[in-house]
Structure 1
């Protein structure tokens, strides 16, 4: 076994039931996608049409639990442990329900400590998570670095930092964070972190084989950790161009029964790439609150000549317009894809894809978006920065190899 991937116990700081709950929360958040903004109401023409999945009802046990915690916090606003509990629970619900209001509730719970210089480490950690959710990566990393100065064995901070560094397209930095995590966290978690970083940094075959072995080895790991690992494994299989393996891993992740907006979006993209739009429509027909999922549903509907795609595109455009008015840049990649694949507006899509890249959103799907937009717009030179990045980090991804070749042929 490679020494980087050897099992290691949880650190004292994250052991026990409380530590495992925090890890489940962070794994969920790190595999999440920002939720939607509210759009103009629609009047359905079909009585059987599902407009969207409704938010949790007031009678739901989860909501009642949260309401009870909030009442306690109102009575004890200076109770840090209680505030952290309320914030974590709100973040968890916001992630699972794709409802951004809960992230605001989480920040409100932490308000007495939010602007302290510095806030307590656990507040800094959650502030980093909330900033990451808003794509304020620089602010999130600054918070995490402060946490790690005072608590260098804080496994959750290392994990969060590693994922943000991967999002920024810096696999070497992410690998260093994962190596620090390996000394603190259980084997499957650190394996998934390391394999994700190695797979983005030119070691795809080793990364895939290592994580596959880790998942096949009996070990203590809860459903959230397996979900994280299987999602990483599925994406590594996609990078390798192994369609059957990617399908197997995505299905295994879905079969865990843990709601993950990120997983649904990643699997929908895979199905669209394999030209299975009917399967995407079945998967996402009741998943319309999250913009990224509604976008994929519309893409599938358009391929199926289902007129519902036009209504869904209009809903998305209204949401994106509202986001722009708030100065919210989270939706730029989704709007670029809408312009490119639904509206056939490659020039507009290219401008948005470049803005997305400029704000340090640099995962393989972001590179692909910019390459496709440059190709469709007939501007191969606009892809130069992405092509240089692919070469610098040694990213191995069959989809990007094919696009890069087409762009070079266009220039020759």
Structure 2
């Protein structure tokens, strides 16, 4: 997900914070957010203890790793990915571990933006276990992030047989909507979702989120309804971020503050909260901007590039440093190609007075036939959202 950019010389001094250095390797930096009454935490401790007694117990290791990954997604806490990897330690460095391990290893590699490694694992997993629906959907997801839409769509097709119709169609619609088939994808997914009353909450949440995103890109007024329906099913970090972006584009920052005021622990959501506070001129803005600067600095010290998109947006919109933002946006684009990445590079290139830097995005938009009203405006000379 690329050589890190040294930003310290470009950023205002007031936006920086002195990095914290532990006094010893044994110093506790932070404790996980659990409570004695948390049933999930108790289950994780039980599984962890069971695995400690028998580290080679593959079913227990897989169960614990999956639970850690799910918890990490829910809380947007990457430390849980480290715990998941630790649970898989006996098999982690094997060239040909069991297919179930390959899929989880690929999931963790995808989370750290090691897309090449993730695809290698998934290729092996699918060859060894071609009926593993999770392997197919994960590979489709990785290829979607990379902008490899034709292969991603092909990975969705087996899901129509291996999983539910809603899962297969959601996968296909999510990708085809980025590849010149937005209207058709939206109509098909909406129809299949309506005809799937017994689908799981997870399946419905995914479908509603995809419908909302397609509606946003095509300027469909139904986007608000889809977001609200998805939020009613369970607001995960991804959905909160997508809805906050929608509200910001709609000029509704007060609703963003209300939505995210209790989500300051998550960097991507704190960024959107700070953008809303900046628009409203709220006193909390300066504090949150300084906090974000410290967090991104800590990420650079860890050589963590997962949040480069957010860091570029931070530099562009909160620090007003377009040249820094452009370098970050270009580095981000070299690794992942999603509409948000395209918008970021287009905006940063224009702000930096370097429209030629956006040429890769313009070529990509032509190649993919992506239908996005905001990107269409930005692509025009002098255009803006």
**TM-score normalised by the chain length of structure 2:** 0.90
1:30 aligned residue: none
Match for residue 248 of structure 2 among 272, 276, 288: 272
Report whether the alignment pairs 1:388 with 2:363: yes
Partner of 2:285 in structure 1? 309
Deviation at 1:272, TM superposition (A): 0.2
Q: Does the alignment pair 1:222 with 2:222?
A: no
Residue correspondence of structure 1 range 336-351 to structure 2 within 5 A: 336-351=312-327
Q: Name the counterpart of 1:373.
A: 348
Corresponding position: 1:94 with 2:72: yes
| Map 1:316-327 → 2, pairs under 5 A | 316-327=292-303
Where does residue 123 of structure 1 map in the other structure? 101
How far, CA to CA, are the matches of 1:91 and 1:332 in structure 2? 21
**Cα RMSD (Å):** 1.7
2:226 is matched with: 249
CA, structure 1 residues 76+259, in 2 after alignment: closer, same or farther (shift >3 Å)? Answer: farther
Spell out the pairing of 1:8-407 with structure 2 (5 A cutoff): 55-242=33-220, 244-256=221-233, 258-359=234-335, 361-406=336-381
Stretches of structure 1 lacking an aligned partner (at least 5 in a row): 1-38, 43-53
Q: What are the Cα deviations for residues 199-233 of structure 1, in whole angstroms up to 9, with x where unaligned?
A: 01001110111111111113431000000000000
- C-alpha deviations, 1:285-340, integer Å up to 9, x for none? 00112110010000000001012111111111111111111111111111110111
- Residue 108 (structure 1) shift: 0.3
Q: Find the counterpart in structure 1 of residue 29 from structure 2.
A: none
**CA 1:111–1:251 in 2, change beyond 3 Å: closer, same or farther?**
same
- How far off is 1:407 after superposition? 5.1
Paired residue secondary structure (1:78) = coil
* Deviation (angstroms), 1:116: 1.4
Per the TM alignment, residue 58 of structure 1 is displaced from its structure 2 partner at its CA by 3.6
8 Å contact kept, 2:19–2:297: no
Task: Measure the CA separation in 2 of the matches of 1:62 and 1:151.
Answer: 30
Partner Cα distance (2:302, 2:202) in 1 = 33
Output the CA distance in 2 between the equivalents of 1:374 and 1:340: 10
Deviation of residue 40 (structure 1)? 7.9
- Alignment: residue pair count: 357
**8 Å Cα contact 1:99-1:289 kept in structure 2:** no
Secondary structure at 2:288's aligned position in 1? helix
Higher relative contact order (Cα pairs below 8 Å, separated by 6+ residues): 1
